[in-house]
Amino acid sequence: MEPLTAALIGGGTYYVLNQHLSPILEPSQVRGLTRHWLTTVCTRDPVAVSNLYAPDGILVGTVAQRIKQGPAEIRTYFNTFLLNEGICGNITSSITQEYPGIAIDTGTYTFEWTENGERVQVPARYTFVWRKTPKGWKIANHHSSALPE
């Protein structure tokens, strides 16, 4: 689908085809971005994870008490979340939507870590909104919440 830009000139409306279309990713590419995020989470490096978010990115974290915005706030969330011993996860379902310069991945994943010597599993649902930026594809918005029991 090609976007149109509307302009009012001299009382008339004219539509101009956008000549600089942003890329539209394939569903497998969108899933690849989200898999890369999860692989980075498994490294337990909060700086590397927070660098995947846009400068104005928003995170509604699975265990966050409040919404985080921007690299510093997002990093503070992962500074705590990634302290869980052996934390990692896997994607269990994914539905994607692709638009020029924007890609959305909504699905489920399960996080697993060790707590007090016991393995803990937390199934959760997610939505990632990926946005094309001059520095590559970055997370503009990420919402994650534990699945209801």
The pLDDT assigned to 21 comes to 61
Do the beta carbons of residue 107 and residue 91 sit within 8 Å? yes
141 within a domain of the structure (yes/no): yes
Q: How many domains does the chain have?
A: 1
Within-domain flag for 3: no
Backbone dihedral angles phi then psi of residue 47, each to the nearest 5 degrees: -70, -45
The predicted-structure confidence for 93-116, as pLDDT tens digits, reads as follows 999 999 999 999 999 999 999 999
The mean per-residue pLDDT over the stretch 127-142 comes to 97
- How far is residue 59's CA from residue 80's CA, in Å, rounded to a whole number? 14
Residue 106 near residue 70 (C-beta atoms within 8 A): no
Decide if 135 is inside a domain: yes
Instruction: For residue 85, tell me if it sits in a domain.
Output: yes
On whether residue 5 sits in a domain, the answer given is no
Q: How many CA atoms lie within 13 A of 97 on its CB side?
A: 7
CATH number of residue 86's parent domain: 3.10.450.50
Q: Each residue of 21-80: pLDDT tens digit?
A: 688 999 999 999 999 999 999 999 999 999 999 999 999 998 889 999 999 999 999 999
Q: Residue 23 has what pLDDT?
A: 86
Phi-psi region at 39: left, alpha or beta (left = phi > 0; alpha = psi -120 to 50): alpha
Is residue 18 domain-resident? no
Q: Of 72, 68, 74, 76, whose CA–CA distance to 37 is shortest?
A: 74
Range of the domain at 94: 24-146
User: Is 4 inside any structural domain?
Assistant: no
**Whole-angstrom Cα distance, residue 127 to residue 91?**
12
Question: Is residue 136 a part of any domain in this protein?
Answer: yes
Least confident of 15-24, 58-67, 81-90: 15-24
